[in-house]
Amino acid sequence: MRRVFTLAASLALVTLVGCSSSPVVGTWSGRGAANAPFTFGSVSFVGDQTFTAEAKYSGNTRVQSGTWATTGDELSLNAGDSKRNYKYKVEGSTLVVTDPKSGHAITLDRMPK
């Protein structure tokens, strides 16, 4: 019985720590840029490593869902067959995501809970 309790407590702790361990967890609203090749309208990063994003590419808006991960200053987004890697930086309530290939940066603001 004690082992079961210890295992359950450990899993609960890992879940709680995992949910708050990354500064990207939360909902973000993108700042629009008329001439940008792509932008995010909004993105929600959940502590279980899933995300939902409203992305705009060349005037077309689409919603994507998938998984995310961070390593150092790199943010990886996987949605179906699509995998995108970005550089990211969180400062206070601002998230800046940069496409390393084009150098294009997107600024997002944290939405209140």
Residue ranges and CATH numbers for the domains of the chain are 23-110 (2.40.128.50)
How confident is the model at residue 33, as a pLDDT? 65
How confident is the model at residue 83, as a pLDDT? 93
Task: Provide the β-strand partners of residue 75.
Answer: 70, 86
Task: Please report which helix (H) or strand (E) contains residue 83, including its range.
Answer: strand 82-91
Greater confidence, 113 or 29?
Answer: 29
pLDDT band at 10 (very low <50, low <70, confident <90, very high): very low
Residues 28 and 41 sit within 8 Å (Cβ to Cβ): no
* 23 SS3 class: coil
User: Does the pLDDT at position 1 exceed 50?
Assistant: no
| Distance separating alpha carbons of residues 53 and 81, to the nearest angstrom | 16
pLDDT mean over 9-27: 58
Residues 73 and 97 sit within 8 Å (Cβ to Cβ): no
Buried b or exposed e, range 8-17, using 16+ CB within 10 angstroms: eeeeeeeeee
Tokens at residue 40, please?
């995010």
Task: Provide the β-strand partners of residue 82.
Answer: 79
Please give the model's pTM, rounded to 2 decimal places.
0.75
Greater confidence, 94 or 3?
Answer: 94
